[in-house]
């Protein structure tokens, strides 16, 4: 029986990062993976979707070349080639993880791992033991009873990335990050897209003004949006699919070639031995303390299987904290109130901290500043004037409570707000930090200036 200091079950952005940090700290480490190194994120999520979205963005540039004084005729897209490029990018990233495993002397155990008592893992009949076992099995597309996925006419995100033929009409159920990203991608390539959202606004976790702006931008692009609507049943017996949608006005039947179910995720906690070991679970999540220890000593859990935000960067951060705590380092618990969220449709959406409504609900006396990209020189020059930066400060102490952005490239800009909040900066300090001109990022400074009635360019 092979013995390790640490075995990580799962090799997604939580698992493989955890394994590398463990190895760096001197632990003899192994990672167990049943499919492809890099997990869903590298192979079927974060990375390949960004490749698809980039192809859509380039196609949009070509179609709007005249806006930049250029002439391009006969621009066409090859759907099969777009998908092939995306898969190539994913494969390259997965191979990169293989290299990192080898470089850091981490043993990769291929197969299906099942937890056993006594700090052991059974991988397809072979038993491995470790002083510490870290569960990082991630999540998958959630299925609704009214929307069973058949992989052909009713699909999840995996199938949406590898369709053999571009659909003429698509219904996207759910308008979280996955839903709006695919809605943008397929719409940009010419598919007629309808979004059906159960709540009363799209991207429902975002600030209200961001949701309204994205809805305006999407409708301008030709995407149909139905909010406060629910798909109650689907009929796949014909050539396409018919979805019955319940709205405030009554029922409506929508017809399409494909329905994409993007209604959230389901943790991969079944059939991995949690019950045999006695690890506590509540509402589809493994219960852990601040440093990811489960109720059973020697067993830990990170990433989508735990109650924190189901985001790749959260899983990575949790894994690093987990093994650093095991190594005896002094570490601080992760601040889940300062986790950035990013959505890569066009315009992009990025946010951190409290929305305006949340800040008011929590009783803060607030200062709110907003700067539209239509007033930004860089945005105007780039032809990307949709969107804005919105900041929220505590009026009494100047604490940066929240930052919400929608526009071109904002997923790369949000880190300023994350770092500022981490360092407990105040609005006045942001104002006095000189921002480069002309850049999209100076909109952050301008929004702060607006909050304090000092805005120059608006």
Domains belonging to the chain, first-starting first, are 2-141+266-336 (3.50.50.60), 154-263 (3.50.50.60), 347-451 (3.30.390.30)
Q: What was the pLDDT predicted at 115?
A: 98
Tell me how far the alpha carbon of residue 158 is from its chain's centroid.
Answer: 15
pLDDT tens track for 73-105: 889 999 999 999 999 999 999 999 999 999 999
In the prediction, which pLDDT does 250 show? 93
Average pLDDT, stretch 331-338? 96
Which residue's entry shows tokens 């059974």?
122
pLDDT tens-digit readout, 336-357: 999 999 999 999 999 999 999 9
When pLDDT is averaged across residues 161-189 and rounded to a whole number, the result is 96
**Does pLDDT of 36 surpass 90?**
no
User: How many angstroms separate the CA atoms of 162 and 358, rounded?
Assistant: 39
SS3 419: helix
| Tokens encoding 305 | 């299987």
Write down the pLDDT at residue 141: 87
* Residue 71 predicted with pLDDT over 90: yes
Q: Give the SS3 label for residue 336.
A: helix
User: What mean pLDDT comes out for the span 30-57?
Assistant: 90
∠ CA(186), CA(189), CA(195), 5° rounding? Answer: 30
Residue 314 CB coordination number (10 Å): 22
**pLDDT value, residue 356:** 97
Residue 34, pLDDT score: 94
- Beta strand 241-247 with 250-256 is antiparallel
Mean pLDDT within 37-64: 90
- Res 41: pLDDT: 80
How sure is the predictor about 39, in pLDDT bands with cuts at 50, 70 and 90? confident
Kind of pairing between the strands at 366-372 and 224-226: unpaired
Kindly tell me if the per-residue pLDDT of 299 is higher than 80: yes
Specify the pTM.
0.94
Is the model's pLDDT at 420 over the cut of 90? yes
How high is the pLDDT of residue 328?
97
Look at residue 1 and tell me whether its pLDDT is greater than 80.
no
Instruction: Return the bridge partners of 116, or none.
Output: 120
Q: Quick one: how far is CA 313 from the chain centroid?
A: 9
Whether 180 has a pLDDT exceeding 90, the answer reads yes
457 has a pLDDT exceeding 90: no
Q: Of 40, 255, 3, which is closest to residue 141 (Cα–Cα)?
A: 40
Residue 175 reports pLDDT greater than 80: yes
Residues 6+ apart with CB under 8 A from 309: 336, 339, 341
Residue 379 has pLDDT above 80, yes or no: yes
In this prediction, residue 245 carries a pLDDT of 96
pLDDT of residue 44: 82
- Residues labelled as active-site residues: 437
Q: Tell me the average pLDDT across 384-412.
A: 96
In this predicted structure, the answer to whether residue 62 has a pLDDT above a threshold of 80 is yes
pLDDT of residue 200: 96
Local confidence band at 380 (pLDDT 50, 70, 90 cut-offs):
very high
Residue 42 pLDDT exceeds 90:
no
Q: Residue 456: is its pLDDT beyond 90?
A: no
Rounded to whole angstroms, the Cα distance separating 372 from 408 reads 12
Query: In the prediction, which pLDDT does 452 show?
Result: 95
pLDDT exceeding 70 applies to what percent of the chain? 100
């Amino acid at each position: 029986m092979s013995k390790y200091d640490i075995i990580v079950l799962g090799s997604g952005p939580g698992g493989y990062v955890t394994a590398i940090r463990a190895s760096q700290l001197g632990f003899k480490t192994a990672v167990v993976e049943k499919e492809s190194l890099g997990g869903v994120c590298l192979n079927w999520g974060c990375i390949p979707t960004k490749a698809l979205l980039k192809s859509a963005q380039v196609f949009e540039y070509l179609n709007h070349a005249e806006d930049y004084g250029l002439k391009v005729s006969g621009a066409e897209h090859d759907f099969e080639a777009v998908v092939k490029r995306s898969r190539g990018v994913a494969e390259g990233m997965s191979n990169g993880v293989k290299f990192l495993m080898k470089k850091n002397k981490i043993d990769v155990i291929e197969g299906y791992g099942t937890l056993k008592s006594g700090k052991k893992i059974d991988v397809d009949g072979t038993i491995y033991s470790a002083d510490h076992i870290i569960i990082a099995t991630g999540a998958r597309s959630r299925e609704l009873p009214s929307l069973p996925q058949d992989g052909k006419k009713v699909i999840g995100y995996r199938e949406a990335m590898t369709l053999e033929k571009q659909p003429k009409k698509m219904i996207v159920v759910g308008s979280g990050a996955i839903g709006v990203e695919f809605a943008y991608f397929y719409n940009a390539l010419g598919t007629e897209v309808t979004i059906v959202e159960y709540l009363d606004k799209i991207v429902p976790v975002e600030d209200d003004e961001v949701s309204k702006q994205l809805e305006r931008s999407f409708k301008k692009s030709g995407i149909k949006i139905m909010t406060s609507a629910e798909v109650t049943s689907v009929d796949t017996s014909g050539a396409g699919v018919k979805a019955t949608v319940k709205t405030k006005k009554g029922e409506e039947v929508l017809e399409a070639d494909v329905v994409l179910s993007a209604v959230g995720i389901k943790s991969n906690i079944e059939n991995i031995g949690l019950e045999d070991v006695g690890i506590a679970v509540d509402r589809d999540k493994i219960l852990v303390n601040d440093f990811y220890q489960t109720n059973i000593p020697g067993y830990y859990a990170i990433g989508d299987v735990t109650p924190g935000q189901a985001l790749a960067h959260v899983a990575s951060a949790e894994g690093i904290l987990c093994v650093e705590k095991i190594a005896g380092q002094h570490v601080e618990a992760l601040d889940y109130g300062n986790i950035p969220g990013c959505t890569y449709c066009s315009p992009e959406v990025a946010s951190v901290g409290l929305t305006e409504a949340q800040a008011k609900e929590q009783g803060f006396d607030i200062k709110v500043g907003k700067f539209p990209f239509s007033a930004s020189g860089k945005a105007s020059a780039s032809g990307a004037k949709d969107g804005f930066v919105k900041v929220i400060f505590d009026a009494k102490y100047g604490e940066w409570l929240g930052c919400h952005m929608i526009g071109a490239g904002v997923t790369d800009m949000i880190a300023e707000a994350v770092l500022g909040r981490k360092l407990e900066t105040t609005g006045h300090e942001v104002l006095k930090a000189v921002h480069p001109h002309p850049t999209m990022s100076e909109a952050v400074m301008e929004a702060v200036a607006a909050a304090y009635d000092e805005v120059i360019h608006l």
